[in-house]
Homo-oligomer: A and B are copies of this chain.
Amino acid sequence: MFSDKLKEECGVFGVYNNDEFDTARMTYYGIFALQHRGQESAGIAVNNQGTILYRKEMGMVSEVFDDVVLDSLKGHSAIGHVRYSTCGDSLRENAQPLVVKYTKGHMAIAHNGNLTNAEKLREELEAQGTIFQTTTDSEVIAALLSKERIKVNAIEDALKEVMKIIKGAYSLLVLTPHKLIAARDPLGIRPLCIGKKEDSFFVSSESAAFDGLGISFVRDVEPGEIVVIDHNGLRSIQTNTEKKSALCAFEFVYFARPDSVMEGLEVYEARFKAGRILAQEHPIEADVVVGVPDSGLAAAQGYSVEAGIPIVGGFMKNRYTGRTFIQPSQELRELGVNMKLNPIRSQIEGKRVVMIDDSIVRGTTSRRIVQLLKDAGALEVHVRISSPPVKYSCYYGVDTAERKHLVANYMSIQEIGDMIGADSLGYISEDGLLESVKGNFNFCTACFSGDYPVK
Protein backbone atom coordinates (compact mmCIF):
# COMPACT_ATOMS: atom_id res chain seq x y z
CA MET A 1 0.00 0.00 0.00
CA PHE A 2 1.17 3.49 -0.75
CA SER A 3 4.11 2.13 -2.69
CA ASP A 4 2.75 3.02 -6.09
CA LYS A 5 5.78 5.11 -6.97
CA LEU A 6 8.25 5.31 -9.79
CA LYS A 7 11.50 3.67 -8.77
CA GLU A 8 14.98 4.93 -9.35
CA GLU A 9 17.49 2.24 -10.22
CA CYS A 10 20.64 3.14 -8.35
CA GLY A 11 23.07 5.48 -6.70
CA VAL A 12 26.87 5.57 -6.98
CA PHE A 13 29.63 7.08 -4.89
CA GLY A 14 33.40 7.05 -5.35
CA VAL A 15 36.51 8.18 -3.51
CA TYR A 16 40.00 8.74 -4.77
CA ASN A 17 41.91 9.26 -1.65
CA ASN A 18 45.35 10.25 -0.51
CA ASP A 19 45.28 8.28 2.69
CA GLU A 20 43.84 11.12 4.71
CA PHE A 21 40.54 9.40 5.37
CA ASP A 22 39.11 5.97 5.98
CA THR A 23 38.13 5.17 2.41
CA ALA A 24 35.64 2.40 3.13
CA ARG A 25 33.85 4.37 5.83
CA MET A 26 33.66 7.50 3.68
CA THR A 27 32.08 5.34 0.97
CA TYR A 28 29.76 3.73 3.52
CA TYR A 29 28.44 7.14 4.57
CA GLY A 30 28.36 8.21 0.94
CA ILE A 31 26.08 5.40 -0.22
CA PHE A 32 24.15 5.65 3.03
CA ALA A 33 23.30 9.24 2.06
CA LEU A 34 22.14 7.87 -1.31
CA GLN A 35 20.06 5.07 0.24
CA HIS A 36 16.85 6.65 -1.10
CA ARG A 37 18.08 5.78 -4.62
CA GLY A 38 18.08 2.04 -3.94
CA GLN A 39 17.29 -0.31 -1.07
CA GLU A 40 17.68 -3.72 -2.66
CA SER A 41 21.41 -4.24 -2.39
CA ALA A 42 24.53 -2.36 -1.40
CA GLY A 43 28.19 -2.82 -2.20
CA ILE A 44 31.62 -1.31 -1.76
CA ALA A 45 34.83 -2.16 -3.62
CA VAL A 46 38.18 -0.79 -2.52
CA ASN A 47 41.50 -0.75 -4.30
CA ASN A 48 44.02 -2.28 -1.97
CA GLN A 49 47.32 -1.73 -3.75
CA GLY A 50 46.18 -3.30 -6.97
CA THR A 51 43.92 -5.95 -5.48
CA ILE A 52 40.26 -5.07 -5.35
CA LEU A 53 38.51 -6.15 -2.16
CA TYR A 54 34.76 -5.93 -2.03
CA ARG A 55 31.56 -6.74 -0.25
CA LYS A 56 28.09 -6.65 -1.69
CA GLU A 57 24.89 -8.17 -0.47
CA MET A 58 21.14 -7.88 -0.64
CA GLY A 59 19.92 -5.38 1.95
CA MET A 60 20.24 -1.81 3.14
CA VAL A 61 23.64 -0.18 3.57
CA SER A 62 23.42 -0.49 7.34
CA GLU A 63 22.54 -4.19 7.05
CA VAL A 64 25.26 -5.17 4.59
CA PHE A 65 28.15 -3.51 6.41
CA ASP A 66 29.37 -3.62 9.97
CA ASP A 67 32.62 -2.54 11.54
CA VAL A 68 34.29 -5.89 10.94
CA VAL A 69 33.50 -5.76 7.22
CA LEU A 70 34.53 -2.12 6.88
CA ASP A 71 37.79 -2.80 8.70
CA SER A 72 38.54 -5.56 6.19
CA LEU A 73 38.10 -3.17 3.26
CA LYS A 74 41.35 -1.25 3.46
CA GLY A 75 42.24 0.74 0.40
CA HIS A 76 43.39 3.94 -1.19
CA SER A 77 40.33 4.47 -3.38
CA ALA A 78 36.84 3.00 -3.48
CA ILE A 79 33.48 2.94 -5.19
CA GLY A 80 30.07 2.12 -3.71
CA HIS A 81 26.64 1.36 -5.05
CA VAL A 82 23.04 1.06 -3.90
CA ARG A 83 20.40 -0.69 -5.99
CA TYR A 84 16.67 -0.35 -5.82
CA SER A 85 14.34 -2.77 -4.11
CA THR A 86 12.77 -5.52 -6.09
CA CYS A 87 12.84 -8.94 -4.50
CA GLY A 88 14.44 -12.31 -4.50
CA ASP A 89 17.61 -13.79 -3.22
CA SER A 90 18.54 -15.02 -6.65
CA LEU A 91 19.32 -11.47 -7.64
CA ARG A 92 22.28 -11.35 -5.30
CA GLU A 93 24.51 -11.88 -8.34
CA ASN A 94 23.28 -8.56 -9.67
CA ALA A 95 24.51 -6.51 -6.73
CA GLN A 96 27.18 -4.00 -7.65
CA PRO A 97 30.01 -3.01 -7.89
CA LEU A 98 30.93 -5.70 -10.38
CA VAL A 99 34.52 -6.76 -9.83
CA VAL A 100 36.41 -8.44 -12.67
CA LYS A 101 39.87 -9.54 -13.62
CA TYR A 102 40.90 -8.58 -17.14
CA THR A 103 44.12 -8.45 -19.04
CA LYS A 104 45.43 -5.46 -17.12
CA GLY A 105 44.48 -6.60 -13.65
CA HIS A 106 41.40 -5.96 -11.54
CA MET A 107 38.60 -3.50 -12.20
CA ALA A 108 35.38 -2.60 -10.36
CA ILE A 109 32.38 -1.06 -12.08
CA ALA A 110 29.25 0.58 -10.66
CA HIS A 111 26.63 2.42 -12.55
CA ASN A 112 23.27 4.13 -12.38
CA GLY A 113 21.10 4.11 -15.47
CA ASN A 114 19.96 1.83 -18.21
CA LEU A 115 21.42 1.00 -21.61
CA THR A 116 18.79 0.95 -24.32
CA ASN A 117 20.85 -1.36 -26.52
CA ALA A 118 22.04 -3.71 -23.77
CA GLU A 119 20.12 -6.68 -25.10
CA LYS A 120 21.53 -6.25 -28.59
CA LEU A 121 25.07 -5.83 -27.24
CA ARG A 122 24.72 -8.96 -25.13
CA GLU A 123 23.61 -10.95 -28.13
CA GLU A 124 26.51 -9.70 -30.19
CA LEU A 125 28.98 -10.49 -27.44
CA GLU A 126 27.48 -13.91 -26.86
CA ALA A 127 27.67 -14.61 -30.57
CA GLN A 128 31.42 -14.02 -30.21
CA GLY A 129 31.61 -16.46 -27.32
CA THR A 130 31.27 -14.20 -24.31
CA ILE A 131 29.58 -15.61 -21.22
CA PHE A 132 27.54 -13.57 -18.75
CA GLN A 133 27.05 -14.26 -15.08
CA THR A 134 24.64 -11.46 -14.21
CA THR A 135 21.88 -9.56 -15.97
CA THR A 136 23.35 -6.14 -15.26
CA ASP A 137 24.41 -3.54 -17.76
CA SER A 138 27.61 -3.23 -15.76
CA GLU A 139 28.70 -6.64 -17.00
CA VAL A 140 28.06 -5.62 -20.60
CA ILE A 141 30.12 -2.50 -20.06
CA ALA A 142 32.90 -4.51 -18.38
CA ALA A 143 32.99 -6.99 -21.26
CA LEU A 144 33.19 -4.19 -23.80
CA LEU A 145 35.81 -2.29 -21.80
CA SER A 146 37.96 -5.39 -21.61
CA LYS A 147 37.67 -5.99 -25.35
CA GLU A 148 38.52 -2.39 -26.20
CA ARG A 149 41.33 -2.24 -23.69
CA ILE A 150 43.45 -4.72 -25.62
CA LYS A 151 43.44 -2.33 -28.56
CA VAL A 152 44.39 0.89 -26.79
CA ASN A 153 46.84 2.18 -24.21
CA ALA A 154 44.69 3.32 -21.34
CA ILE A 155 41.41 2.35 -19.72
CA GLU A 156 39.98 5.82 -20.38
CA ASP A 157 40.68 5.38 -24.09
CA ALA A 158 38.87 2.07 -23.96
CA LEU A 159 35.96 3.75 -22.18
CA LYS A 160 35.86 6.40 -24.91
CA GLU A 161 35.38 3.63 -27.46
CA VAL A 162 32.79 1.87 -25.34
CA MET A 163 30.81 5.10 -25.05
CA LYS A 164 30.51 5.09 -28.84
CA ILE A 165 28.89 1.66 -28.64
CA ILE A 166 26.55 1.87 -25.68
CA LYS A 167 23.32 3.86 -25.87
CA GLY A 168 21.03 5.13 -23.17
CA ALA A 169 21.44 6.52 -19.69
CA TYR A 170 24.44 5.89 -17.50
CA SER A 171 26.41 7.51 -14.76
CA LEU A 172 29.35 5.21 -14.47
CA LEU A 173 32.25 4.67 -12.08
CA VAL A 174 35.27 2.50 -12.87
CA LEU A 175 37.88 1.72 -10.24
CA THR A 176 41.25 0.33 -11.34
CA PRO A 177 44.48 -0.16 -9.41
CA HIS A 178 45.63 3.34 -10.31
CA LYS A 179 42.56 5.33 -11.31
CA LEU A 180 39.03 6.29 -10.47
CA ILE A 181 37.08 7.09 -13.61
CA ALA A 182 33.65 8.69 -13.77
CA ALA A 183 31.59 9.06 -16.90
CA ARG A 184 28.16 10.29 -17.83
CA ASP A 185 26.13 9.50 -20.90
CA PRO A 186 26.07 12.08 -23.73
CA LEU A 187 22.74 13.51 -22.62
CA GLY A 188 23.44 13.49 -18.91
CA ILE A 189 20.19 11.64 -18.23
CA ARG A 190 21.32 10.50 -14.76
CA PRO A 191 23.08 12.94 -12.41
CA LEU A 192 26.72 12.70 -11.33
CA CYS A 193 28.88 15.27 -9.61
CA ILE A 194 32.38 15.84 -8.30
CA GLY A 195 33.52 16.84 -4.81
CA LYS A 196 36.81 17.60 -3.10
CA LYS A 197 38.09 17.54 0.44
CA GLU A 198 41.72 18.37 1.08
CA ASP A 199 43.63 16.31 -1.52
CA SER A 200 40.92 13.74 -2.07
CA PHE A 201 38.40 13.68 -4.91
CA PHE A 202 34.89 12.28 -4.69
CA VAL A 203 32.11 11.49 -7.14
CA SER A 204 28.47 11.00 -6.27
CA SER A 205 25.05 10.62 -7.85
CA GLU A 206 23.93 13.54 -5.71
CA SER A 207 25.61 16.45 -4.01
CA ALA A 208 23.75 15.83 -0.74
CA ALA A 209 26.11 12.92 -0.09
CA PHE A 210 28.95 15.43 0.00
CA ASP A 211 27.28 17.74 2.53
CA GLY A 212 27.07 15.13 5.27
CA LEU A 213 30.74 14.30 4.80
CA GLY A 214 32.12 17.82 4.82
CA ILE A 215 33.09 17.50 1.15
CA SER A 216 33.01 20.59 -1.04
CA PHE A 217 30.92 20.37 -4.18
CA VAL A 218 33.12 21.09 -7.22
CA ARG A 219 30.84 20.70 -10.25
CA ASP A 220 28.61 18.27 -12.11
CA VAL A 221 30.20 15.79 -14.47
CA GLU A 222 29.16 17.06 -17.91
CA PRO A 223 27.08 15.04 -20.35
CA GLY A 224 29.44 12.86 -22.34
CA GLU A 225 32.38 13.67 -20.09
CA ILE A 226 34.93 11.16 -18.85
CA VAL A 227 36.66 12.27 -15.66
CA VAL A 228 39.92 10.51 -14.84
CA ILE A 229 41.24 10.84 -11.31
CA ASP A 230 44.68 9.52 -10.47
CA HIS A 231 47.80 10.59 -8.60
CA ASN A 232 48.13 13.49 -11.04
CA GLY A 233 44.75 14.83 -9.98
CA LEU A 234 41.65 15.20 -12.11
CA ARG A 235 41.60 15.22 -15.91
CA SER A 236 38.61 15.61 -18.21
CA ILE A 237 37.90 14.03 -21.58
CA GLN A 238 34.87 15.34 -23.43
CA THR A 239 33.37 12.83 -25.85
CA ASN A 240 30.34 14.93 -26.70
CA THR A 241 30.49 16.78 -29.96
CA GLU A 242 26.96 18.16 -29.84
CA LYS A 243 25.88 20.38 -26.98
CA LYS A 244 22.80 18.47 -25.95
CA SER A 245 21.46 17.55 -22.54
CA ALA A 246 18.44 15.74 -21.17
CA LEU A 247 18.52 15.30 -17.41
CA CYS A 248 15.64 13.18 -16.12
CA ALA A 249 12.99 15.64 -14.95
CA PHE A 250 11.82 13.19 -12.33
CA GLU A 251 15.10 13.58 -10.48
CA PHE A 252 13.73 16.99 -9.48
CA VAL A 253 10.12 15.88 -9.11
CA TYR A 254 10.69 12.85 -6.95
CA PHE A 255 13.93 10.86 -6.96
CA ALA A 256 16.62 13.14 -5.64
CA ARG A 257 17.00 14.38 -2.09
CA PRO A 258 15.56 17.88 -1.66
CA ASP A 259 18.92 19.07 -0.34
CA SER A 260 20.81 18.00 -3.47
CA VAL A 261 21.88 20.52 -6.09
CA MET A 262 21.90 19.42 -9.75
CA GLU A 263 23.01 21.57 -12.65
CA GLY A 264 23.06 24.56 -10.32
CA LEU A 265 19.55 24.07 -9.03
CA GLU A 266 18.56 22.88 -5.57
CA VAL A 267 15.92 20.16 -5.73
CA TYR A 268 13.84 21.63 -2.89
CA GLU A 269 13.80 25.01 -4.60
CA ALA A 270 12.64 23.46 -7.87
CA ARG A 271 9.86 21.60 -6.10
CA PHE A 272 8.85 24.72 -4.19
CA LYS A 273 8.70 26.64 -7.44
CA ALA A 274 6.68 23.88 -9.08
CA GLY A 275 4.24 24.24 -6.20
CA ARG A 276 3.91 27.96 -6.89
CA ILE A 277 3.35 27.39 -10.60
CA LEU A 278 0.81 24.69 -9.79
CA ALA A 279 -1.08 27.21 -7.66
CA GLN A 280 -1.09 29.62 -10.56
CA GLU A 281 -2.21 27.01 -13.05
CA HIS A 282 -4.81 25.34 -10.84
CA PRO A 283 -6.05 27.78 -8.20
CA ILE A 284 -8.85 26.71 -5.89
CA GLU A 285 -10.66 28.12 -2.90
CA ALA A 286 -9.68 26.08 0.12
CA ASP A 287 -8.86 26.21 3.84
CA VAL A 288 -5.62 24.27 4.09
CA VAL A 289 -2.83 22.84 1.97
CA VAL A 290 -1.38 19.46 2.87
CA GLY A 291 1.56 17.73 1.24
CA VAL A 292 1.74 13.96 0.91
CA PRO A 293 4.96 12.99 2.76
CA ASP A 294 7.71 13.11 1.91
CA SER A 295 8.11 14.16 -1.70
CA GLY A 296 4.96 16.32 -1.84
CA LEU A 297 5.98 18.60 1.02
CA ALA A 298 8.17 21.11 -0.80
CA ALA A 299 5.63 21.67 -3.57
CA ALA A 300 2.93 22.00 -0.91
CA GLN A 301 4.90 24.79 0.72
CA GLY A 302 5.23 26.54 -2.62
CA TYR A 303 1.53 26.13 -3.31
CA SER A 304 0.67 27.48 0.14
CA VAL A 305 2.81 30.58 -0.27
CA GLU A 306 1.52 31.33 -3.77
CA ALA A 307 -2.12 30.65 -2.96
CA GLY A 308 -2.09 32.28 0.46
CA ILE A 309 -3.68 29.19 1.96
CA PRO A 310 -2.04 27.98 5.16
CA ILE A 311 -0.10 24.71 5.00
CA VAL A 312 -0.66 22.18 7.79
CA GLY A 313 0.78 18.83 8.70
CA GLY A 314 -1.85 16.62 7.20
CA PHE A 315 -0.38 13.19 7.74
CA MET A 316 1.61 11.18 10.22
CA LYS A 317 3.93 8.79 8.35
CA ASN A 318 5.22 5.67 10.07
CA ARG A 319 8.98 5.63 9.55
CA TYR A 320 9.72 2.15 10.81
CA THR A 321 8.72 0.14 7.76
CA GLY A 322 11.97 -1.54 6.80
CA ARG A 323 12.63 -4.47 4.52
CA THR A 324 11.41 -6.99 7.06
CA PHE A 325 8.08 -5.36 7.84
CA ILE A 326 5.16 -7.68 7.11
CA GLN A 327 2.79 -5.81 4.83
CA PRO A 328 -0.87 -6.22 5.78
CA SER A 329 -2.60 -8.92 3.76
CA GLN A 330 -5.41 -7.98 1.39
CA GLU A 331 -7.83 -9.33 3.99
CA LEU A 332 -6.46 -7.11 6.74
CA ARG A 333 -6.41 -4.11 4.44
CA GLU A 334 -10.08 -4.66 3.79
CA LEU A 335 -10.56 -4.63 7.56
CA GLY A 336 -9.11 -1.14 7.48
CA VAL A 337 -5.51 -1.89 8.30
CA ASN A 338 -3.28 0.90 6.98
CA MET A 339 0.12 1.12 8.53
CA LYS A 340 1.86 3.91 6.66
CA LEU A 341 -0.11 7.17 6.62
CA ASN A 342 -2.57 8.46 9.22
CA PRO A 343 -4.29 11.82 8.81
CA ILE A 344 -3.97 14.49 11.49
CA ARG A 345 -7.68 14.87 12.04
CA SER A 346 -7.64 18.29 13.73
CA GLN A 347 -6.08 19.86 10.66
CA ILE A 348 -8.42 18.22 8.20
CA GLU A 349 -11.82 17.94 9.80
CA GLY A 350 -14.35 20.37 8.41
CA LYS A 351 -11.79 21.83 6.05
CA ARG A 352 -11.54 22.21 2.31
CA VAL A 353 -8.20 20.61 1.59
CA VAL A 354 -5.70 21.05 -1.24
CA MET A 355 -3.64 17.87 -1.31
CA ILE A 356 -0.28 18.10 -3.09
CA ASP A 357 1.48 15.00 -4.42
CA ASP A 358 4.35 14.58 -6.84
CA SER A 359 2.81 12.15 -9.30
CA ILE A 360 0.08 9.66 -10.07
CA VAL A 361 1.18 6.35 -11.55
CA ARG A 362 -1.60 3.77 -11.27
CA GLY A 363 -3.94 5.96 -9.24
CA THR A 364 -4.64 3.39 -6.53
CA THR A 365 -2.51 5.15 -3.94
CA SER A 366 -4.00 8.55 -4.64
CA ARG A 367 -7.49 7.10 -4.27
CA ARG A 368 -6.59 5.71 -0.85
CA ILE A 369 -5.07 8.95 0.37
CA VAL A 370 -8.06 11.00 -0.77
CA GLN A 371 -10.27 8.53 1.06
CA LEU A 372 -8.20 8.90 4.24
CA LEU A 373 -8.70 12.66 4.12
CA LYS A 374 -12.45 12.31 3.56
CA ASP A 375 -12.68 9.81 6.38
CA ALA A 376 -10.88 12.33 8.58
CA GLY A 377 -13.62 14.84 7.85
CA ALA A 378 -12.31 16.84 4.88
CA LEU A 379 -15.21 18.71 3.26
CA GLU A 380 -13.49 18.81 -0.11
CA VAL A 381 -10.25 17.33 -1.40
CA HIS A 382 -8.60 19.06 -4.33
CA VAL A 383 -5.67 17.11 -5.66
CA ARG A 384 -2.79 18.97 -7.26
CA ILE A 385 0.08 17.07 -8.84
CA SER A 386 3.50 18.68 -9.26
CA SER A 387 4.37 16.72 -12.40
CA PRO A 388 2.49 16.34 -15.70
CA PRO A 389 0.56 13.11 -16.34
CA VAL A 390 2.92 10.12 -16.70
CA LYS A 391 1.86 8.46 -19.95
CA TYR A 392 4.98 6.75 -21.27
CA SER A 393 7.39 4.15 -19.94
CA CYS A 394 10.97 5.08 -19.17
CA TYR A 395 13.86 3.21 -20.81
CA TYR A 396 16.63 5.06 -19.00
CA GLY A 397 16.72 3.48 -15.61
CA VAL A 398 13.38 4.23 -13.97
CA ASP A 399 10.97 1.46 -13.18
CA THR A 400 7.70 2.96 -14.38
CA ALA A 401 4.90 0.52 -14.67
CA GLU A 402 4.21 -0.99 -18.03
CA ARG A 403 2.50 1.63 -20.18
CA LYS A 404 -0.85 -0.09 -20.00
CA HIS A 405 -0.91 0.34 -16.22
CA LEU A 406 -0.20 4.08 -16.33
CA VAL A 407 -3.57 5.57 -15.53
CA ALA A 408 -2.89 8.75 -17.51
CA ASN A 409 -2.36 6.62 -20.57
CA TYR A 410 -5.93 5.43 -20.75
CA MET A 411 -7.97 7.96 -18.76
CA SER A 412 -8.64 11.64 -19.11
CA ILE A 413 -7.73 13.93 -16.25
CA GLN A 414 -11.40 14.26 -15.44
CA GLU A 415 -11.75 10.48 -15.29
CA ILE A 416 -8.68 10.15 -13.08
CA GLY A 417 -10.05 12.77 -10.72
CA ASP A 418 -13.32 10.87 -10.51
CA MET A 419 -11.53 7.57 -10.02
CA ILE A 420 -9.43 8.83 -7.12
CA GLY A 421 -12.44 10.55 -5.57
CA ALA A 422 -11.05 14.08 -5.78
CA ASP A 423 -13.34 17.10 -5.90
CA SER A 424 -10.96 18.49 -8.46
CA LEU A 425 -7.67 17.39 -9.97
CA GLY A 426 -4.95 19.51 -11.52
CA TYR A 427 -1.57 18.54 -12.92
CA ILE A 428 1.18 21.03 -13.52
CA SER A 429 1.67 21.61 -17.25
CA GLU A 430 4.80 20.39 -18.96
CA ASP A 431 5.76 24.01 -19.51
CA GLY A 432 5.11 24.74 -15.88
CA LEU A 433 7.39 21.90 -14.81
CA LEU A 434 10.12 23.03 -17.20
CA GLU A 435 9.76 26.56 -15.87
CA SER A 436 10.30 25.24 -12.33
CA VAL A 437 13.66 23.69 -13.31
CA LYS A 438 14.69 26.39 -15.74
CA GLY A 439 18.43 26.96 -16.09
CA ASN A 440 21.31 26.17 -18.41
CA PHE A 441 20.21 22.61 -18.91
CA ASN A 442 17.65 20.65 -20.88
CA PHE A 443 15.49 17.87 -19.55
CA CYS A 444 14.19 14.52 -20.58
CA THR A 445 10.42 14.61 -20.42
CA ALA A 446 9.82 11.36 -22.24
CA CYS A 447 7.50 9.92 -19.61
CA PHE A 448 5.17 12.91 -20.02
CA SER A 449 5.63 13.73 -23.67
CA GLY A 450 6.75 10.49 -25.27
CA ASP A 451 9.60 12.47 -26.77
CA TYR A 452 12.52 10.10 -26.11
CA PRO A 453 15.93 11.76 -26.42
CA VAL A 454 17.64 8.43 -27.23
CA LYS A 455 16.05 5.85 -29.45
Do B102 and A126 touch across chains, with their CB atoms under 8 A apart? yes
Which one of B103, B132, B258, B320 contacts A32 once the chains associate, using CB atoms below 8 Å?
B320
A24 to chain B, nearest CB (A): 11
Q: Which residue of B lies closest to A125 (CB)?
A: B103
| Oligomer: number of copies | 4
Expressed in whole angstroms, the Cα–Cα distance for A388 and B29 within the complex equals: 36
Do B102 and A128 touch across chains, with their CB atoms under 8 A apart? no
Do A62 and B321 touch across chains, with their CB atoms under 8 A apart? yes
Instruction: Check: A202 CB closer than 8 A to any chain B CB.
Output: no
Expressed in whole angstroms, the Cα–Cα distance for A322 and B62 within the complex equals: 7
Instruction: Check: A311 CB closer than 8 A to any chain B CB.
Output: yes
Instruction: Check: A6 CB closer than 8 A to any chain B CB.
Output: no
Q: Which residue of B lies closest to A53 (CB)?
A: B90
Interface 0/1 of A314-327, CB less than 8 Å to B = 00101111101110
Do B131 and A102 touch across chains, with their CB atoms under 8 A apart? yes
Which one of B70, B310, B325, B345 contacts A305 once the chains associate, using CB atoms below 8 Å?
B310
Known: A53-B90, A268-B346, A347-B268. A322 touches B319 (CB 8 A): no
Which one of B142, B268, B311, B322 contacts A131 once the chains associate, using CB atoms below 8 Å?
B142
Do B146 and A326 touch across chains, with their CB atoms under 8 A apart? no
Instruction: Check: A101 CB closer than 8 A to any chain B CB.
Output: yes
A79 to chain B, nearest CB (A): 16
Interface 0/1 of A30-41, CB less than 8 Å to B = 001101100000
Which one of B103, B272, B319, B337 contacts A213 once the chains associate, using CB atoms below 8 Å?
B337
CB contact list, A126-144 vs B, under 8 A: 126-133, 135, 142-143
A: number of interface residues (CB 8 Å): 90
For A338, the chain B residues whose CB sits under 8 A away are 212, 214
Interface segment out of the listed A180-188, A328-336, A437-445: A328-336
Do B297 and A339 touch across chains, with their CB atoms under 8 A apart? no
Do A346 and B269 touch across chains, with their CB atoms under 8 A apart? yes
Do B132 and A326 touch across chains, with their CB atoms under 8 A apart? no
Q: A25-B326, A305-B310 are in contact. List 19 more A-B contacts (CB 8 A).
A: A29-B337, A33-B339, A54-B90, A66-B326, A70-B326, A98-B133, A100-B131, A129-B148, A212-B338, A212-B339, A214-B336, A257-B316, A259-B345, A269-B346, A269-B347, A297-B313, A311-B311, A319-B319, A322-B322
Q: Which residues of A are at the interface with B, using a C-beta cutoff of 8 A?
A: 21-22, 25, 28-29, 32-33, 35-36, 53-55, 60-63, 65-67, 70, 89-90, 98-103, 122-123, 126-133, 135, 142-143, 146-150, 208, 211-214, 257-259, 261, 266, 268-269, 272, 294, 297-298, 301, 305, 310-313, 316, 318-322, 324-326, 328, 332, 335-339, 342-347
The 18 sampled A-B contact pairs (Cβ below 8 Å) are A21-B335, A28-B326, A29-B328, A35-B320, A63-B324, A67-B326, A101-B126, A101-B133, A102-B126, A102-B130, A213-B335, A258-B313, A266-B344, A266-B346, A268-B316, A268-B347, A272-B346, A311-B311
